[in-house]
Chain A
Amino acid sequence: MSHLSNKPGPRRFVIIGGGLAGWMTAAVLARALKREYGEIQLIETAGASGESRAVGTRPSFRKLCGLLGIDERDWMPATHATFKLGAEFRDWGRAGDGYFHGFGPCGARLEGVAFHQHWLRLQRLGNIPPFEDFAPVAALARAGRFAPPAPDRRSPFHWYDYAYHLDRPQMTAYLRRYALRRGVQPVAGSVVALERHADSALISALRLADGALISADLVIDCSAGRNGPLWRALEVRFEDWRRWMPGDRALSIPAAAPTQWPPYSCFAAAEHGWRWQIPLQDSVDWGYAYCSDLSTETQLEAALRAMSPDARLEHVAPLRFDAGRPDRFWIGNALLLGACRPGPLEATELQLLQSGVTRFLGLFPGFTSGFDRASAQEYNRLTIAEHDGVRDFLALHFIATTRDDSPFWRHCRGLEAPVTLRDRLELFRHSGRLGLAEDDAFGEEGWLAVLLGQHVVPAGIDPLAAATDLEHTRGALQMLTSRLHAGLAGAPAHRDFLARHGLLA
Chain B
Amino acid sequence: MNTAQPIRRIAILGGGTAGWMAAALLACKLRGLAESIQIIESPEIGTVGVGEATIPPIGLFNGALGVDEGEFMRETRATFKLGIQFQDWGRVGQRYFHPFGVFGTSPGMDTLHHFWLKARQHGETRAFEQWSLNAMAAQLNRFMRPEKSDGGLASLYSYAFHFDAGLYAQYLRRYAEQRGVRRVERKVEQVELRSADGFIQALRLDDGSRVEADLYIDCSGFRGLLIEEALHTGYEDWTHWLPCDRAIAVPCASAGELTPYTRSTARSAGWQWRIPLQHRIGNGYVYCSRYLSDDEATATLLAHLDGPALAEPRLLRFTTGRRRQFWNKNCIALGLASGFMEPLESTSIHLVQKGLTHLLNLFPDLDFAPCVIHEYNRRSIEEYERIRDFVILHYKATTRSDAPLWRQCQSMPVPEPLAYKIEQFQQTGRIVHYDSELFATSNWLAVLLGQEVWPRHYDPLTDQQDFAELHRRLDGVREAIRSAAEATPRHADYLKAGALIHA
Contacts and interface: CB of A to CB of B under 8 A. Distances in A.
Contact of A2 (B4, B121, B375, B464): B121
Contacts of B367: 460
A431 B2 contact: yes
A466 interface: yes
B428 A375 contact: yes
B423 interface: yes
A306 interface: no
B435 interface: yes
Contacts of A435: 375, 378-379
A433 B457 contact: no
Chain B CB within 10 A, most for which of A365, A433, A464: A464
B369 A367 contact: no
B459 interface: yes
B117 interface: yes
A34 interface: yes
Given A433-B362, A460-B365, A438 B435 contact: yes
B395 to A, nearest CB: 21
Interface in A376-411: 377-378
B454 interface: yes
Given A463-B365, A467-B32, A366 B372 contact: no
Given A34-B464, A374-B424, A374-B427, A463 B457 contact: no
B360 A112 contact: yes
A473 to B, nearest CB: 11
Interface stretch (A5-13, A70-78, A199-207): A5-13
A426 interface: yes
Contact of A378 (B120, B363, B432): B432
Interface string B219-234: 0000000000000000
Contacts of A437: 435-436
Contact of A4 (B430, B436, B457): B457
Contacts of A464: 29-30, 33, 360, 363
Interface string B450-461: 000011111111
Contacts of B457: 4-7, 366, 372
Interface in A457-471: 458-460, 462-464, 466-469
Interface in B147-180: none
B440 to A, nearest CB: 11
B371 interface: yes
Nearest to A458: B2
B1 interface: yes
Given A374-B423, A430-B371, A4 B2 contact: no
Contacts of A65: none
Contacts of A124: 1
A178 B427 CA distance: 34
B236 interface: no
Contacts, number: 119
Question: Chain A: interface residue count, which band?
Answer: 35 or more
Contacts of B64: 112
Given A365-B460, A430-B369, A460 B2 contact: yes
Contacts of B456: 3-5
A365 B40 CA distance: 58
Interface string B365-390: 10101011001001100000000000
Interface residues of B, number: 47
Interface in A429-473: 430-431, 433, 435, 437-439, 458-460, 462-464, 466-469
B375 A112 contact: no
Given A9-B460, A467-B30, A468-B32, A433 B361 contact: yes
B7 interface: yes
Interface string B426-438: 0110101001100
A437 B433 CA distance: 12
B59 interface: no
Contact of A112 (B1, B29, B371): B29
A459 to B, nearest CB: 4
B56 interface: no
Interface in A1-32: 2-9, 32
Given A378-B424, A468-B32, A4 B121 contact: yes
Interface string A29-52: 000111001000000000000000
A462 B2 CA distance: 11
Contacts of B33: 463-464, 466-467
A118 B33 CA distance: 15
A375 B459 CA distance: 10
B294 interface: no
B6 interface: yes
A439 B437 CA distance: 12
B118 A431 contact: no
B165 to A, nearest CB: 26
B6 A467 contact: yes
A438 B383 CA distance: 13
Contact of A7 (B1, B375, B423, B460): B460
B479 interface: no
B29 A3 contact: no
Contacts of B375: 427, 433, 435
A2 B432 CA distance: 23
A413 B494 CA distance: 66
Nearest to A6: B457
Given A433-B375, A438-B435, A2 B460 contact: no
A426 B64 CA distance: 30
B343 interface: no
Interface string A313-346: 0000000000000000000000000000000000
A469 B361 CA distance: 18
Interface in A216-262: none
B360 A430 contact: no
A466 B360 contact: no
A31 B239 CA distance: 51
B475 interface: no
B364 interface: yes
A363 interface: yes
Nearest to B437: A438
A374 B436 contact: no
Contacts of B372: 427, 430-431, 433
Nearest to B111: A362
A439 B460 contact: no
Contacts of B29: 112, 464
Contacts of A460: 1-2, 4, 365, 367
A125 to B, nearest CB: 12
B363 A463 contact: yes
Interface in B410-453: 423-424, 427-428, 430, 432, 435-436
A431 B7 CA distance: 15
Contacts of B455: 4
A427 B371 contact: yes
A459 B4 CA distance: 10
A431 B462 CA distance: 49
Contacts of A439: 435
B90 to A, nearest CB: 14
Interface of A: 2-9, 32-34, 37, 112, 124, 361, 363-367, 372-375, 377-378, 423, 426-427, 430-431, 433, 435, 437-439, 458-460, 462-464, 466-469
14 contacts: A3-B454, A4-B121, A6-B463, A112-B64, A367-B460, A378-B432, A427-B375, A430-B2, A433-B361, A437-B435, A463-B6, A463-B7, A464-B33, A464-B363
Given A6-B460, A468-B32, 16 more contacts: A4-B117, A124-B1, A363-B428, A364-B460, A372-B427, A374-B428, A378-B424, A378-B432, A427-B375, A433-B375, A458-B2, A460-B1, A460-B4, A462-B363, A464-B30, A467-B33
Would you list the 9 A-B pairs with minimal beta carbon distance, nearest first?
Answer: A9-B460, A460-B2, A374-B427, A467-B33, A459-B2, A467-B32, A437-B435, A427-B371, A3-B454
Interface of B: 1-2, 4, 6-7, 29-33, 64, 117-118, 120-121, 360-365, 367, 369, 371-372, 375, 378-379, 423-424, 427-428, 430, 432, 435-436, 454-464
